[in-house]
Amino acid sequence: MYRSGDLGRYLPDGRVECTGRADDQVKIRGFRIELGEIDTLMSQHSLVRENVTLVRRDKDEEKILVSYFVPVDGAKLNGFTSEISDAEEPDGIKSIPKYRRLIKDIREHLKKKLPTYSIPSLFVPLHRMPLNPNGKIDKPALPFPDTAYAHASAAGRKSAKGDKVRTASPTEQKLCSIWSSILPNAPGSIPLDESFFDLGGHSILATRLIFEIRKQFVVEAPLGLVFAQPTVSGLASAIDALREPDFGIARHEPATPPETQVTGGRRLPKILPSAAVEYGKDLDILLPRLRSSYPPLSPDFTTRTLTVFLTGATGYLGAFVLRDLLRHEERVQKVVCLVRGASVEKALDRLRESSSDRGVWDETWVTSGRLEVVIGDLGQDRFGMDSETWSRVAADADVVLHNGALVHWVYPYEKLRAP
């Protein structure tokens, strides 16, 4: 019998009623999430004193992750807060706009260690955690998302008085209105440089956003636009570029798309529609490049030690795959990892950092010679390796474990396809 961790009870008629979980595991949009893992990793941030993560319902009754935290006091916060007043509110909430830079830093800290679906949609800074008579955190007393955002909106309006704030363009104003209607807990004043996904958006809402943009602005916005330009200012510039009139004048399109000025001094390449690629036709291109036949496995394949060529080792899953491979010393002699990097040393540092962040790195892999890093890119011919490296790896590798990929539910095939 499998112990699933679910709590339940038998009803008098013999049916089983599920009543919850025996642990902190929750399920949101089909993903199983460990709240305890989020809390543990968030507590490792140097500017977080206390924290707890809960599942709450937004205004649309959808489940979202909300992390409540008490920041440290003192000079450590310099550079992570603004000059907005931090007077205590009735619910003990600190000013969310005041701590926006700190919240961004905490979110980036979690992104290095957790999959995207485990990143909380809302971070609420508190003066102190509410406690029950037993001295434990009183979770029911923590403010709901709509209450937290109401405080954030009020604080944002107060901070704007007397401050020089760039006036949003008409396109940006219209986008802010669309975002407010789509995001489940949109702040009262949407920052022009804040990511759609950091404000609680996800791939399903991104699809809705693109359809609204097409309808409101009458442009053929690609589905991947919001992922390429996730901020209001970036989206507005891209939309304005798409709306440029075409008077039918013949002209030669340059090899490099022209740039469009983005508010704030940055420049954005003009987004041009890419040619559609038919998935099935790639087979006709691939077949002539394959051999007519390949030799069978050697007779001692199942008994001798192997060299494994691994892709995607810097990803969340890849770090654990690498660890598990190198644990099998009796079967795996060596693992060769393909990693993007300017040099082998920098690629190794990148692999070391990603595995260390997930608590699975062992330096003896390198010192013993059981781990080798080669630099390259999956999107290029021969994985971006030079001829000498390609020939050596091809001759040494007994197994190819392909774990590297660009996973996306919205991008079309031509966007995901290698050149």
High-pLDDT (> 90) share of the chain, %: 33
Report pLDDT for 162.
45
pLDDT for 276-332, tens place per residue? 677 788 888 888 988 888 889 989 999 999 999 999 999 888 999 999 999 999 999
Res 149 pLDDT > 70: no
The full set of domain ranges for the chain reads 21-125, 171-243, 303-402
Q: Which residue has the higher pLDDT, 13 or 160?
A: 13
The C-alpha atoms of residue 249 and residue 389 are separated, in whole angstroms, by: 49
User: Thinking of the domain 171-243, which architecture would CATH place it in?
Assistant: Orthogonal Bundle (1.10)
The C-alpha atoms of residue 226 and residue 271 are separated, in whole angstroms, by: 12
Q: What CATH number labels 21-125?
A: 3.30.300.30
pLDDT for 206-253, tens place per residue? 889 999 999 999 888 888 888 888 899 999 999 988 876 543 344 344
- Domains 171-243 and 303-402 fall in the same CATH topology: no
Question: Do 306 and 325 contact (CB within 8 A), yes or no?
Answer: no
pLDDT for 58-95, tens place per residue? 766 778 889 999 999 878 888 777 765 555 555 566 66
Q: Which residue has the higher pLDDT, 149 or 102?
A: 102
Other Cβ atoms within 10 Å of 339 Cβ, number: 24
Q: What Rg do the C-alpha atoms of the chain give, in angstroms? A: 26
The C-alpha atoms of residue 89 and residue 99 are separated, in whole angstroms, by: 15
Reading the block at residue 401, the tokens are 């474990």
Cα–Cα distances in Å, from 180 out to 93, 185, 190, 196, 314? Answer: 22, 8, 8, 11, 36
Report pLDDT for 210.
92
Report pLDDT for 334.
97
Strand partners, 26: 33
Terminal alpha carbon distance of the chain: 49
Q: Which residues, in sequence order, are CB contacts of 397 under 8 Å at separation 6+? A: 307, 308, 309, 336
Q: What is the pTM for the complete model shown?
A: 0.52
Res 409 pLDDT > 70: no
CATH superfamily, domain at 303-402:
NAD(P)-binding Rossmann-like Domain (3.40.50.720)
Other Cβ atoms within 10 Å of 238 Cβ, number: 25
Listed range (20-24, 270-274, 327-331, 401-405) with the worst mean pLDDT: 270-274
